[in-house]
Amino acid sequence: MPKKSCATCRSLQEEHRFLKPPEADWLKKETGRKNVDGFMVCEALLADGEKQCRNLRHYFREKPFKEPLRLPDPT
């Protein structure tokens, strides 16, 4: 199966991971969803090389929201 790139940062590398519990809690509050299983966050580095993209996707669906939704940077 060919790897898909991130719809937001257009990284050619597949660097997504499933959400950690605090991130899942944030997404539930942000979207009003009760279940956020299957959501993944892009870990590809952006052009500046310091920050991660953090765009959300749902399994292989690159654009689960009308506008790209990114997790806030970890504090």
Dump pLDDT digits (tens) for 11-57. 666 688 999 999 999 999 999 999 999 999 988 888 777 788 899 99
Bigger pLDDT: 10 vs 39: 39
Bigger pLDDT: 31 vs 62: 31
CB of 69 closer than 8 Å to CB of 55: yes
Read off the pTM: 0.80
CB of 51 closer than 8 Å to CB of 73: yes
* Separation of first and last alpha carbons in the chain: 35
